[in-house]
Amino acid sequence: MAAFIAFIIMFVGGIYLLGAAFSLSAFQALVFILGLLLVSAAMALLMRQGGSATRRSNNWSQDS
């Protein structure tokens, strides 16, 4: 549950930074890249959690 809360905070914070980058007068690229990295890290955190269907040993088709 704590990992999901961390995911939500990182994901929403990254989306906020992506949007806020366009209203800044300085450091637009830096804030945009930081937001992009934060969203990517949140998605990686969610996909690495045990028990998810993203692992080969626990996929839906059981072909592996």
Query: Mind listing the pLDDT tens digit for each residue in 7-64?
Result: 999 999 999 999 999 999 999 999 999 999 999 999 998 887 766 555 555 556 655 5
Q: What is the rounded CA–CA span in Å between residue 63 and residue 34?
A: 38
DSSP letter at 49 equals: S
Q: What is the rounded CA–CA span in Å between residue 15 and residue 34?
A: 10
pTM, two decimal places: 0.73
pLDDT score of 50: 66
